[in-house]
């Protein structure tokens, strides 16, 4: 039995914030942000919107697209670095209830911006093992809620959004989008390069000592950049090796939408044309685990994905985690 991905869905908050608008409150400029990252604008969740609210909208869109009811879902998996609550209850449980997935189990996965790539392999495995007939995988992120807006090195990079995919059991040789291979890795020695220092069991929040900034994103941009370029190159190469093809034989590469310069550097190293890489980071910035399904949903809407194409996803982020999937469309 093969697991097929039968539908994608996505959601972004309504509020659009351009670089110029950001520059009114942050010591930066549209010119700096565009030239160093490729980002022009991002979406920012409303004060009353949590990750689950974005995830519910994306999950509902995916189920509607597939034309099945929420009661058919056996498992809800949510990839998020910005869960509604710290660690519990899981955001997946909240989404399971609010979406009406009355017959489903639910759990969160924490793999930073690589969460959707991990989730694709997990959902595939559950379906192909016969443990679940229908899995709803959601990546839901509200990074702007944990952003340090006084840190211009990082705050200009992030945006909010959610994406979702429905997995179902398919025929051995049937049509439908499939995960052919996954390659999922971790470089935990780089944990300090992208971290929220306070609020976990290592350093619980102490109001006498800590400030809000201690619980927000800390990023060593240079270290993450160097790691990311290497991670993208190695993931593409490894997945192509598994399929016994050259990277140039791929139809599309859908990278984590962090920074156009990371993607350009990886493309240059692999001697690949930039038009093999789909990007929409100019409009959404870095939406962490949600960036890959948001990109895929846009590709579907633009009719870019055709039956039989090989589509490679590649993610990297906190952990440091990295890896990707080779999909057959």
Q: Which residues bind ligand ACO (CB under 6 A)?
A: 28, 32-33, 36-37, 113, 152-153, 156-157, 194, 219, 221-222, 224-225, 228, 258-259, 262, 286, 288, 317-318
Nearer to ligand ACO, 104 or 263 (CB): 263
Q: Which of 194, 196, 159 is nearest to 54 (CA)?
A: 159
Q: Is 155 labeled as catalytic in the residue annotation? A: no
State the minimum distance, in angstroms, from the CB of residue 236 to ligand ACO.
Answer: 17
State the minimum distance, in angstroms, from the CB of residue 108 to ligand ACO.
Answer: 17
State the minimum distance, in angstroms, from the CB of residue 74 to ligand ACO.
Answer: 30
State the minimum distance, in angstroms, from the CB of residue 315 to ligand ACO.
Answer: 8
Nearer to ligand ACO, 7 or 224 (CB): 224
State the minimum distance, in angstroms, from the CB of residue 198 to ligand ACO.
Answer: 18
What is the distance between the alpha carbons of residues 275 and 257, in angstroms, rounded to a whole number? 15
Closest CB to ligand ACO: residue number: 221
Instruction: Read off the tokens for 41.
Output: 């604008």
Q: Is 286 labeled as catalytic in the residue annotation? A: yes
Nearer to ligand ACO, 97 or 220 (CB): 220
Q: Which of 113, 148, 155, 240 is catalytic?
A: 113
What is the distance between the alpha carbons of residues 41 and 18, in angstroms, rounded to a whole number? 4
Strand partners, 179: 327
Q: Which of 19, 148, 259, 286 is catalytic?
A: 286
What is the distance between the alpha carbons of residues 314 and 257, in angstroms, rounded to a whole number? 10
Q: Helix, strand, or coil here: 216?
A: coil
Give me the sign of the Cα torsion angle 114, 119, 124, 130: positive
CB burial of 148-173 (b: ≥16 within 10 Å; e: otherwise) equals beeebebbbbbbbbbbbbbbbbbeee
Nearer to ligand ACO, 20 or 64 (CB): 20
State the minimum distance, in angstroms, from the CB of residue 97 to ligand ACO.
Answer: 28
Residue 179 and residue 186 in contact, taking contact as beta carbons nearer than 8 Å: no
Nearer to ligand ACO, 132 or 289 (CB): 289
Instruction: Read off the tokens for 286.
Output: 């870095």
Q: Is 256 labeled as catalytic in the residue annotation? A: yes
Strands 178-186 and 321-328: antiparallel
Name residue, tokens 């990839």: 79
Nearer to ligand ACO, 80 or 182 (CB): 80
Q: Helix, strand, or coil here: 221?
A: helix
User: What's the start-to-end Cα distance of the chain, in Å?
Assistant: 17
Q: Which of 101, 148, 240, 256 is catalytic?
A: 256
Q: Helix, strand, or coil here: 46?
A: coil
Nearer to ligand ACO, 91 or 291 (CB): 291
State the minimum distance, in angstroms, from the CB of residue 206 to ligand ACO.
Answer: 26
Helix runs in 1-156, H state only:
19-22, 30-37, 51-66, 91-99, 115-128, 152-155
Point out the residues that are catalytic.
Answer: 113, 256, 286
């Amino acid at each position: 039995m093969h697991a097929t991905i039968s539908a994608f869905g996505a959601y972004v908050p309504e509020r659009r914030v351009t670089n110029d608008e950001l520059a009114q409150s942050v010591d930066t400029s549209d010119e700096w942000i565009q030239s160093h990252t490729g980002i022009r604008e991002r979406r920012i969740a409303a004060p009353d919107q949590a990750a689950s609210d974005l995830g519910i909208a994306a999950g509902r869109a995916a189920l509607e697209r597939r034309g099945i009811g929420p009661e058919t879902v056996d498992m809800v998996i949510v990839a998020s670095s910005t869960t509604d609550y710290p660690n519990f209850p899981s955001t997946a449980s909240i989404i399971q209830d609010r979406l009406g997935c009355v017959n489903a189990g639910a759990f969160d996965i924490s793999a930073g911006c690589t969460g959707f790539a991990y989730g694709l392999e997990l959902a595939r495995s559950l379906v192909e093992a016969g443990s679940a007939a229908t899995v709803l995988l959601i990546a839901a992120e509200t990074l702007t809620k944990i952003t340090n807006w006084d840190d211009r090195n990082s705050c200009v990079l992030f945006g909010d959004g959610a994406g979702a995919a429905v997995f179902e059991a398919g025929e051995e040789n049937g049509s439908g989008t499939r995960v052919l291979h996954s390659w999922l890795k971790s470089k935990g020695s780089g944990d300090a390069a992208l971290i929220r220092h306070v609020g976990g069991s290592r350093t619980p929040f102490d109001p006498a000592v800590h400030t809000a900034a201690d619980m927000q994103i800390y990023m060593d941009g240079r270290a993450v950049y160097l790691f990311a370029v290497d991670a993208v190159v190695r993931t593409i190469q490894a997945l192509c090796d598994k399929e016994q093809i050259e990277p140039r034989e791929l139809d599309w590469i859908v990278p984590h939408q962090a920074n156009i310069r990371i993607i350009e550097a990886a493309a240059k190293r692999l001697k690949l044309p930039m038009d093999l890489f789909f990007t929409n980071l100019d409009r959404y910035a870095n939406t962490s685990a949600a960036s890959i399904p948001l990109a895929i949903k846009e590709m579907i809407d633009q009719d870019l994905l055709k039956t039989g194409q090989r589509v490679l996803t590649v993610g990297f982020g906190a952990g440091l985690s990295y890896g990707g999937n080779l999909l057959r469309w």
